[in-house]
Each structure stands twice: as structure tokens, then as C-alpha cells.
A and B are shown apart, each in its own frame.
Chain A
Amino acid sequence: MVNPDKPIAIHDQSLEPRLRRQTGVALPSLLLWLAVAVLGASALGAIALHRGETINSFWFVTAAVCTYAIGFRFYSLFIATKVLILDGSRATPAERLNDGRDFVPTNRWVVFGHHFAAIAGPGPLIGPTLAAQFGYLPGTLWILIGGVLGGCVQDFVILFFSLRRDGRSLGQMARDELGPVGGFAATLGVMMISLILIAVLGLVVVNAMKHSPWATFTVTCTIPIALLMGVYMRTLRPGQILEGTALGVTLLLFAVVGGGALEQWPLVSQWFDFDAPTLALCIIAYGFCAAVVPVWLLLAPRDYLSTFMKIGTILALAVAILLLRPEIKMPALTQFIDGTGPIFSGKLFPFVFITIACGAISGFHSLISSGTTPKLLSNESDARMIGYGAMMMESFVAMMAMIAATVLDPGVYFAINSPAGVVGKEAAQVVQTISAWGFPVTVEQMANLAHQMGEATLFARTGGAPSLAVGMANIFSNLTGGAWLAVWYHFAIMFEALFILTTLDAGTRVARFILQDFLGNFYAPLGRTSWYPSVLITSALVVTAWGYFLYQGTLDPLGGINSMWPLFGIANQMLAAIALCVATTIIIKSGRARYTWVTALPLSWLLTVTSTAALHKLFNPAPRIGFIAHARELTTKLDAGTLTPDLVQQAPRLIFNDRLNAALTLIFLLVAWTLTFDTVRVALRHRRGLKTRSFSEVPYVRTQLAQS
């Protein structure tokens, strides 16, 4: 057992060359890093101070690369050597508990690939796209600063602490270090965030597919393709994953191109032409089926497909941006920093910090950093590259999404992303409203763009996916001489929908396991994951829970994203706060309280922004921001009989939803603050020398791998 009063020393520094090499800085190296710092500062200065017509995206890439390089070289090294004290001589769980399956010492670049594929979902693409309504500057700065000082730190420290605890999950670590309250709060947080995440991502897909036969056809095709891959990899060529994936990718590309031919067959085309509520029901039905069929049949092949497409497309986007260096047309700041934005309501502070969660700091990552990845590391020193480094990559993905969203004409960007409830339903009315904001756009321009993208209309395509797809299509089509815009657009929609649906499948299963675990306390068979009636019942309950939010989102006059994305952001950042609470507790208990600020500062910032955002969503008197104010306004108007006939019918449901959203926000707030108070309690007890839960780190065992 480790003495909590003494810092833990590296047992054998001769086995720590990677870290030792980098602690001293020679003069040439110092000059090089000075040059990187000056270049990065110049690029950031250019981004922050530029007020011209356009600015080149090269400045964004330069600022990002320099910031990440300095963050990794200096800050992550400081954390590795001073705060966590990584010890390469210590055998990892993968080495000690090697079972050839769950715990397997793995090449660090392979672990890096697995970890990055696991943490990088649709969040870093959608959040920055939505946050671009404030202009390019706030989101860009938050992605860079939040990433280097917050998200990367969270992923790194949680990975390390889980590594020292045999790959225990965040919930288990919270229970071990803080107590049952902490453990329960963390588990509840995971459950709630999974449900909200699935609902809001489902809504993003629905908004991308509504009345778009091409997009619906392509996304629908992913299901039989995944089934075919599943059968291929299980029965025809068991376990041949690369072959199966190659087959699936080829078929998928045919489906993207083939969807374009639908307009020539109006009869067939109408089979894939649905409104948003119908599509929501289809996704709910799909979600249930995907949750109850065997993993090999649908979820696993879809995941192989989406991982391949995700990494391939992100790399292609990075290459395209570096080669083409497109001009950013969005201003640095827009008037919507005052809280009157059409895409989501609320002022720059705190809403930009919860709108961009993934890409800056995402609590969900702590679930991957604990439990899954630590069981694969063969050397403890690799935790720095994998924990800190993979999050840097994700942050760069968010930066690319910001670039792709802001290369659009601002008028076009707002026309695509603004809900009809804010800018009107008629095209002429929409362009007039948006042009009056100072972002000129015309009906002809939007009609041409829709035609080029193979869509009937691009107005009110809220959720971020369509505008990101237009941005990506513009960038990619430059590589093909301006041709194939429609194909690139639908490729981008398919790419986003593919891994959104994978997240939906996987999230449903996670929530189901948690629910089964909980219900098993009342009736034991319900807790058995292999008992099929339990699988059916709990899957139905979980799908109904997120399905309700999804369906209601499609009926919401403000588009659903307006209320649900902030809720998701609050939930995700609250989970990050929970992870940082656990990390802070462990740092204090490991005898390095003087470095508590490393996790306590991002924790304080998250608690400030998320609590402020949650209080705004609860009590802000503006109906477009506050859930309670919106419910009150509707109630008053309903009683006074001043609502339009269609709103009279919807009002009771909208009022109920507002109250439900308010209750959820309150729960998130309470969970995060409960854990914070628990952390403070444990820290104070530890400082006074009172009894706390014992330090749960496993004892030191010398590695045998490094010597061989």
C-alpha cells in the first residue's frame, strides 16, 4: 500500500528514458521551441485581431499546431514528471493480468489508434459548427485553451489513475476514493448523459435526412451493408475484419453515388422522402432492433465501417485544408454574443463553453480513458502520448469543423442552421431576416446551393450536420476541380450519420447495462445481461427514454437543437467535472496536494460555466433561454387565448417538456455539486489527518517487458 503522505518516486529511472530525455532543454532545442512559441503567438494574434473581410484558414492551423506542440512538449511533460510521476519500471495491468483478451500489452501506436477512434465521435464536429454563430474567435480560443489545459489533462490523468488501479472505471474509482455517494453520482451521470446524447444526435441525423431521399437512402443502405458485413465476418470468413470492412466501404461508396440517381425515379424516391417525426420513429425502431440483436450482426460491423470512414475522412479533411487553405468568411465576432443567436439562445458566456464540449473538454472521454484503454498499455510512460496526445488530435478535429463551418458565407450558414420558429418558414422571409442581421443571402443563392448539393432545400436544416456537410463538400470539391459537389455533400452526410448511429447503438447498450445492473437489485434475473426478456424490457425502457426526447425535438417549433444541445453540453461538462473531482481527490491523497491546481483549475472553470449555464436554462426570464420562463409564457398565453390554433394543441406538451428539461438540468447541477462537496470533504479530512477511504492504487510490481 502506498503511503499517502509521501510522494511516489520513480523506482528505476534507467527505465524511463523517454521522459528523462525530455526534461532538460538544450540550447538548439530551446531556440526551436522559442520559434514555435513566437509563430503560435503570431498566428493567434492574427486570428484575434483580424477584422477584415476574410482571413486565411492557414492561421488557424498554424495556431493550433503550435499550441498543441507547446502544450504537449511542456505542460504534459510537467504533469507526467511532477504531478503524476509516470514510472516506466512499473508493470502495467496489461502485463500483470495479461489474459490474451481483455488485458493485452499492445503497441502504443495501436492503442493510440484505438483510443482516438473511441473518443472521436460526432461531438467535435457538431459543437464548433453550432458555436460558429458567435463568430470564429470564441470557439477557436476555447477549443485551443480548453483542449490543452482542460480536456487533454482530464483524459491523461484519468487514464493514468485507472492504469494504477487495474483499469477500474470512473464510477468504481469514484466509489473507491470518495465513497458510495460519489460512485452513485458518477453512474447516474453516465446514464443521463447517454440518454440525452443519443436523443440530440438522433435529432441531428433526422434533420439531415428530412425530405432528402438521397440522404435517407444512403443512411438506410448502411443497415443492410452492416448486416452483410456481419454475416461475412462471422460465417463466410470468420474474424476477417479487414476484408469485411473493405467490402462494406466499397458498397457504401456505391450507395452514396447511387443515391443521386433516385431523382430520376420519382416513385422510388418518394419511398425515402419522410418528414422529421416519421424519421424519428424510424430511428427509434432501429435503435430498439440494434440493441436487441447480437452484437456481431449489426453493431460491430457498423462500428468497423464508421471507424474506418471516420479516420479516413478526418485525414482527408486535414490534407484538403492544408493544401487548399480556404478563406474564412465568418467574422471574428457576431452580434449574437449578446444572447440573441438564432441557432441556440444565450450569451457568449457561458454558452460557448457548453456548446463546444467534445473538442475542448468532454466528460464522456473519461469513460474511455478509464476501463478500456488502460488495459492495453504495455508501458506506463505511454499514458502521456495516448491520454494527452489523442485528445489533442480530437481538439484538432474540432478546429477543422470550425474551419469547415466558417468557410461558408455567413448568410448561407445562418440560413441553413436557423430554425423556422426563429426566422420564418417562407424563403423570402428567411433571407430578409438574415440579410437584415448584416449577413446577405438571397433566395436564388440558397436555391442554387440546394440544387448543387442535390437537395430540394437547405433552409432550416438545423443540427449542424448539413452546414458542416456543405462546408466539407466545398472543400473536397476543390480537390476534384469543383465537380461532384452533390456527391461530396451526401458523402459527408453519410459519414456523419454513420458514426452518429454507431454512437446511438453503443450508447443504448451502455444505458441498458446500467439499468440492468440497477434493476437487478430488485429482481435478480433482470440484472442478467444474458437473460433475453431482461434485454428486451430494459432495451425498450432505454429506447423509450431517449426516443421521447428525440420525437419531441422534431415537433419543437424552435427545432429541438435549441433546447437539447445545451442540455447535452451541460451533462457532458458535468461528467467532466465529476472526473476532475475524482482526479483531484487522488492527487491530494497521493501526497501531491501542491499540484492540485492542475485539475482543480479546469474543475473550477467547468463548475462555473456549467452552473451558470444551468441556472440560465432554469431561471433566465427570457423565454428563449429559460425553460421555466418559456413554460410560464406558454401557460399565460394559453390561458389568455392568444396562441395560434396549432400552438394551442402543442402548448401542453411543450410546457411539460420545458418542465422535464428543467428537472433534468437541476439533476445535473445537483449531481455535480454533490460530488464537488464530497471531494472538498475528503480533501479536508485528509489534510487534517482524519480517516478517509484508503488509497486504492495497486502495489508496485517491476516490469519484465522493458528488460526483454
Chain B
Amino acid sequence: MSVRNLLSLNLGTRLMRGVAGGRAWLAQLNGDAAYAHYLEHWGEKAHAGIPLSRAQFYCSELERRWNGVRRCC
């Protein structure tokens, strides 16, 4: 593999990683990643029963989060 190809491959890999990182960051920012966090934590703590479904989790999270001051003036 030529040096040029290697560089372009690295750049491509870097770009893909950058895009994937950006998407993961965005998912954290807008809350899309919250359910994955919950499942991960649920698995680690070995709770009894089954975890909430995505829809159940979404609703219960909203109720919890809006039970206080969330937005300012």
C-alpha cells in the first residue's frame, strides 16, 4: 500500500470515527442515548425482573425530569 493510500485510509477512518463520535455526542445531548445508559446500568446492578421498555422508560424519564425546575427565564 502506497503512503498516499495509507494516509487517505487513515483520514477516512478518522473521519468515520469523528462522525461516529459526533453522533454519539449528539445522542447524549438530545437524550437519545439515555435508554442505553439505563440498560447498561440496569445490567451492571443485576436488578430483579425485567427492565422498562424503551417507551416506558421514555415516559417515566420525562415525568421524573419535569418534576422540578428545568427551564429558566
B68 interface residue (CB < 8 Å to A): yes
Q: Quick check: A234 and B58 within 8 Å, CB to CB?
A: yes
User: CB-CB < 8 A to A558: which residues of B?
Assistant: none
B72–A120 CB distance below 8 A = yes
B55 touches A239 (CB 8 A): yes
How many residue pairs bridge A and B at CB < 8 Å?
117
Question: Measured between alpha carbons, how far is A109 from B21 in the docked complex, in Å?
Answer: 13
Q: What bracket does the count of chain B residues touching chain A fall in?
A: 20 to 34
Which residue of B has the minimal Cβ distance to A243?
B32
Residues of B within 8 Å of A76, CB to CB, are none
Bound complex: CA of A300 vs CA of B38, how far in Å? Answer: 19
Chief secondary structure at chain B's binding surface: helix
Could you tell me the distance between the alpha carbons of A234 and B56 in the complex, rounded to whole angstroms?
A: 9
Q: Output the least CB separation between A505 and chain B (Å).
A: 8
Pair A362/B72 contact, Cβ less than 8 Å: yes
In the complex formed, the residue of B with least CB distance to A370 is B69
CB distance from B11 to the nearest CB of A (A): 24
Whether the Cβ atoms of A503 and B71 lie closer than 8 Å is: yes
Contact with A along B20-32 (1 / 0, CB 8 A): 0000011111111
**Cβ-closest chain A residue relative to B42:** A100
Does residue A15 face the partner (Cβ distance < 8 Å to B)?
A: no
Task: Tell me which residues across on chain B come within 8 A of A669, comparing CB atoms.
Answer: none
From A118, A233, A296, A568, B72 is in contact (CB under 8 Å) with A118
Q: How far is the CA of A101 from the CA of B25 in the complex (A)?
A: 17
Interface string of A349-371 (1 = CB under 8 A from B): 00000000110001011011001
- Chain A minimum-CB-distance residue to B41: A100
A169 contacts across to B, CB distance below 8 A: 68
Q: Is the CB of A365 within 8 A of B28?
A: no
The one of A233, A295, A362 that contacts B73, using a Cβ cutoff of 8 Å: A362
Is the Cβ of B73 less than 8 Å from the Cβ of A100?
no
Q: Are B71 and A300 in contact (CB under 8 A)?
A: no
A673 to B59, CA, bound (A): 42
The answer to whether A121 touches B72 (Cβ under 8 A) is: yes
Pick from A101, A114, A367, A507: contact of B29, CB below 8 A.
A114
CB–CB A529/B58 < 8 A: no
Residue among A100, A113, A197, A365 facing the most chain B CB atoms (10 A cut-off) = A100
Q: By the criterion CB–CB under 8 Å, are B67 and A529 in contact?
A: yes
A503 lies within 8 A of B73 (CB): yes
List CB contacts (< 8 Å) of A100-135 with chain B: 100-102, 104, 106-107, 109-110, 113-114, 118-123
Q: Is the CB of B58 within 8 A of A121?
A: no
Task: Give Cα A358 to B72, complex, Å.
Answer: 9
Tell me if A506 and B70 are in contact (CB < 8 A). yes
CB pair A245–B30 under 8 Å, yes or no, is yes
Residues of A within 8 A of B63 (CB): 294-295
* Interfacial chain A residues near B61, Cβ < 8 Å: 101
A300, B66: Cβ atoms under 8 Å? yes
Kindly state the separation between the CA atoms of A118 and B55 in the bound complex, as whole angstroms: 24
- Residue-wise, chain A 82-114 has the 8 Å CB interface mask toward B (1 for contact) of 000000000000000011111010110110011
Cross-chain contact A102 with B40 (CB below 8 angstroms):
no
Check A482 for interface membership: any CB of B closer than 8 A.
no
CB of B17 within 8 Å of the partner chain: no
Contacting pair B35 A239 (CB below 8 A): yes
Q: Please judge, given known A-B contacts A110-B25, A113-B29, whether A102 and B69 are in contact too, CB under 8 Å.
A: no
Bound complex: CA A357 to CA B37 (Å): 37
Q: Is the CB of B30 within 8 A of A100?
A: no
Per-residue contact bits, chain B 48-64, to A (CB 8 Å; 1 contact, 0 not): 00000111011101111
Bitwise, A223-267 to B at CB < 8 A (1) or not (0) is 000000000011100111110010000000000000000000000
- Could you tell me which A residues sit within 8 Å of B by CB distance? 98-102, 104, 106-107, 109-110, 113-114, 118-123, 169, 190, 197, 201, 233-235, 238-242, 245, 294-296, 299-300, 303-304, 357-358, 362, 364-365, 367-368, 371-372, 499, 502-503, 506-507, 509-510, 513, 529, 568, 572
- Pairs A–B under 8 Å by Cβ, sample size 9: A100-B37, A110-B28, A114-B29, A118-B70, A121-B71, A242-B30, A503-B72, A507-B71, A510-B68
Report the 3 A-B pairs with minimum CB-CB distance, sorted nearest first: A100-B41, A238-B55, A123-B73
